[in-house]
Structure 1
Amino acid sequence: MTKHHTTSYYAASANDTRQRPALEGHETADVCVIGAGFTGLSSALHLAEKGYRVRVLEASRIGFGASGRNGGQIVHSYSRDLDFIEQHYGMDTANAMGQMAFEGGRIIRDFVQRHDIRCDLKDGGIFAACTGKQLQALESKKSLWERHGHDRLELLDAGGIRARVGSQRYVGGLIDHSGGHFHPLNLVLGEAAALESLGGVIYEDSAVERVQEGDKVRLFTARGSVTADFVVVAGNAYLGGLIPQLAQKSMPCGTQVITTEPLSPEMQRALLPQDNCVEDCNYLLDYFRLSGDGRLIYGGGVTYGARDPGRVEALIRPNMLKTFPQLRDVKVDFAWTGNFLLTLMRLPQFGRIGRNIYYAQGYSGHGIASSHLAGRLIGDAIGGQAERFDVFAGLPQYTFPGGRLFRVPLTAMGAWFYSLRDRFGV
């Protein structure tokens, strides 16, 4: 049964609506990738550029999961920042991860330029502080990132942020001039087309039902199979229970997004005069930006399971109006939800199963840049240069205590606790 994209603005404005065929019969490949999102297609593209024969098996549609539903913002580093890594895993690991923390955004820009991907890519990402304490934390972030070699940062005082964000909510901020925003589904579709131009093949509606490990790995779908020297597991929050040991170490969580009707040029300039994207510094953060055709895309919150579009609008619209009360009479045209994958330590999980199955997952809400980095590192590792991949693979990976039964209530309690901290500014 063919699955279609969700009720998103991105799906309604996709550049490429072609349906790729499902896998039929048996094929062989050097590498078979499970999942046609950012991790899978970055891996596939990097490998195809090295000359590998690549097949991609996608259960639904290209970009069906988080890669085609997210806020579309290039945010550097990881869900846990480099100071946490320093404290828990030592300076050598932190320095190695720090050298890679800003690479994902460069990979995205390189793909867009070299493959002429039309995805409304724009520069400048703002971290907006709601409190003085959050602004102090941004000052520390600037020092931390600069210590790791990232120097395209600028602190914004109250006047500086109001020159870039037409809201009274923020006391200041930090702009990363190398951050930015784009249409995520059009990016992933452009990456798919680039892979195909290099001889890679993508099969949609081709969910992997069974993995047979061995010197060569065989992947079985409903109507076919692929035998490959190497496999890349890149299903993330949409992998399900295919690889039980990966499911035990992570939990899918949902975020919600709404998109307004097109705004007048005057309103666009009033909201975001420099056309930057923004995320606030709350634990349960809000994020927003303008689309290529002048709509406001606004998202936030964390849920545990999908929600219907009407409920999404009811959840997110009040947050949007708190930030921009001038939008009270503006219509919402699109609302949707999508899942990202949370890990217990909120750091991505890279690794191998046996000798020839590689995986990367669990970016914990920080996946756009990190997933593109993951693809490069997996490509390098399969090509014999595994040092950088092994920095991530060497991080401990913990299972959630109590299994699936306790993962949702424990994480929901944590989210509730942090929402109270956000509300009272502590």
Structure 2
Amino acid sequence: MSFLSVDQDLARDSYYVATAPREIPFPTLDADAQADVVIVGGGLAGLSAAVELAERGRRVVLLEARQVAWGASGRNGGQAIAGLACDQSVIEQQLGKEAARDVWDMTLEALDLITQRCRCFAIDCDWQPGYLDLAVNARKAAELRKWQEQMHHRYGYQTTWIAPQEMGRWIASPRFHSGIHDARSGHLHPLKYSLGLARAAQRLGVRIYEDSAVTRLQTGARPRVHTARGQVVAEQVLLAGNVYLQGVAAQLESRIMPVGTYIVCSEPLDPALCTALIPSRSAVCDTNFVLDYFRPTADHRMLYGGRVSYSTATPRNLVASMRKRMAQTFPQIAACRIDHAWGGFVDISMNRAPDFGRLRKDGAQDPPSDGSYSVRSHHANVYYLQGFSGHGLALTGLAGKLVAEAMTGDAARFDIFARLGHRSFPGGARLRMPALVLGMAYYRMRDAL
């Protein structure tokens, strides 16, 4: 069974779908069309790019295989956090400290973009500021404290240290030793936000088509994007489908892997109890490699994520196992009812850094797949955004803005990310998934120490 079949099942019981009903669906592409830019993928990256390009006067067609925000954009944990999925040291080693500082500053811009777009387009998505990054033991606390000091010294980023004796003021849980509070980051309802962006794009003139899976990409001076019932001819193409592209650009697929992640949502809690669990109502993550993440919702539920599957198989007894994890963190709600359980797949890269770049008109990558960087090619008119590695709620919005800048003549900021080198996962098509499963077993053992 392919991960796409599993994904269909995981989407059925989402809290987000239950609390953000879709309006009239977008039509299916059933004829040929022309555009300045055709975007493949109706998630946050594609929608953000569509908005930015339309505001710059470009005629845009967006093709979504299922429904807008079907994948991770509409099903994620809702946490919008500064930084990348990889540590800043990965960026420093590849690009140098000056460019790494530019990257960090852009991740802060990504957070600002969310609030700006909500204000500009009247999107009500339950935005709540505040993020807690919490260590489960003294060893991990020392690592977190070192990271906090480095970020303050190198990047001027201010967070609040929470000592063990102060933890009770921030979270009513026995699991955590100490941590940090980040006032700049926060959380929201991702499907409400995504659908709000889709409405904004449509008002700006973007033609959005759902149930319009792309079957083939023809590169060239005027690339063509084919679906089962039509095609779009454009000057430029943006591939923003991540792991869902499936054969559209095979040269990109080996650089990302689908990883399953899972979430449950409790019944509504007494508002006083919900606030007592996390008084600041912040989003929370632990610092484990295979982490738990959770947050209160606007309607006083506890939304709790954790577990991962690197084989794409859904864990057995998912609801029971997730309830157990939530109860270990919050014994106070061990008996509460679980109203929703769902999951989905994120795209991870080998180094957990985002993978942005171009395909030339001959279909080859620019930069090459070996990670070396070449000067921006004037023969590249197909752009791609992938590899957000589970840290994309804010970053996808920034990515859409950067690629729109590049497509309209200013590629300086896009090319900072495009300089990052990426490798294919080892093992080839048959063995790379088992190899990743074994590798993650090592990190699970480390988390247990």
- Name 2:341's counterpart in structure 1: 335
- Name 1:326's counterpart in structure 2: 332
- Decide whether the 8 Å contact of 2:49 with 2:404 is kept in 1: yes
Offset, 1:198: 0.6
Aligned pairs for 1:74-89 within 5 A: 74-89=80-95
Given the alignment of the two structures, is residue 20 of structure 1 paired with residue 26 of structure 2, yes or no? yes
Q: Residues 313 and 213 from structure 1, CA distance in 2 versus in 1: closer, same or farther, beyond 3 angstroms?
A: same
Offset, 1:140: 2.4
- Name 1:163's counterpart in structure 2: 169
Q: Could you give the per-residue CA deviations for residues 125-157 of structure 1, whole angstroms, max 9, x where no partner exists? A: 110111122222222222333345453411111
How far apart, CA to CA, are the structure 1 residues paired with 2:355 and 2:310?
20
Aligned pairs for 1:127-276 within 5 A: 127-276=133-282
Secondary structure at 1:285 match in 2 = coil
Secondary structure at 1:128 match in 2 = strand
Amino acid at match of 1:399: S
- Name 2:110's counterpart in structure 1: 104
Secondary structure at 2:424 match in 1 = coil
- Decide whether the 8 Å contact of 1:124 with 1:179 is kept in 2: yes
Q: 1:113 aligned to 91, 116, 119, which one?
A: 119
Offset, 1:123: 0.4
How far apart, CA to CA, are the structure 2 residues paired with 1:255 and 1:192?
25
Q: What is the number of residues matched between the two proteins? A: 423
How far apart, CA to CA, are the structure 2 residues paired with 1:263 and 1:3?
27
- Decide whether the 8 Å contact of 1:30 with 1:230 is kept in 2: yes
Offset, 1:216: 1.1
- Decide whether the 8 Å contact of 1:3 with 1:205 is kept in 2: no
Q: 2:414 aligned to 371, 375, 389, which one?
A: 389
Q: Residues 112 and 256 from structure 1, CA distance in 2 versus in 1: closer, same or farther, beyond 3 angstroms?
A: same
- Decide whether the 8 Å contact of 2:148 with 2:159 is kept in 1: yes
Offset, 1:16: 3.0
Amino acid at match of 2:43: G
Q: Residues 268 and 5 from structure 1, CA distance in 2 versus in 1: closer, same or farther, beyond 3 angstroms?
A: same
Offset, 1:218: 0.8
How far apart, CA to CA, are the structure 2 residues paired with 1:402 and 1:146?
39
- Name 1:7's counterpart in structure 2: 13
- Decide whether the 8 Å contact of 1:257 with 1:312 is kept in 2: no
What is the TM-score normalised by the length of structure 1?
A: 0.95
Consecutive unaligned residues of structure 1, counting only runs of 5 or more, are: none
- Decide whether the 8 Å contact of 1:206 with 1:222 is kept in 2: yes
Q: Could you give the per-residue CA deviations for residues 143-173 of structure 1, whole angstroms, max 9, x where no partner exists? A: 3333454534111112333212110111111
Moved over 4 A (4+): 2-5, 305-310
Amino acid at match of 2:447: D
How far apart, CA to CA, are the structure 2 residues paired with 1:189 and 1:305?
30
Amino acid at match of 2:114: I
Offset, 1:109: 1.2
Q: 1:295 aligned to 281, 291, 301, which one?
A: 301
Offset, 1:405: 1.3
Q: Residues 243 and 79 from structure 1, CA distance in 2 versus in 1: closer, same or farther, beyond 3 angstroms?
A: same
CA-based RMSD of the aligned residues comes to 1.8
Offset, 1:339: 0.3
Identity %: 39
Amino acid at match of 2:411: A
Given the alignment of the two structures, is residue 284 of structure 1 paired with residue 309 of structure 2, yes or no? no
- Decide whether the 8 Å contact of 2:11 with 2:343 is kept in 1: no
Amino acid at match of 1:398: R
What is the TM-score normalised by the length of structure 2?
A: 0.90
How far apart, CA to CA, are the structure 2 residues paired with 1:307 and 1:334?
19
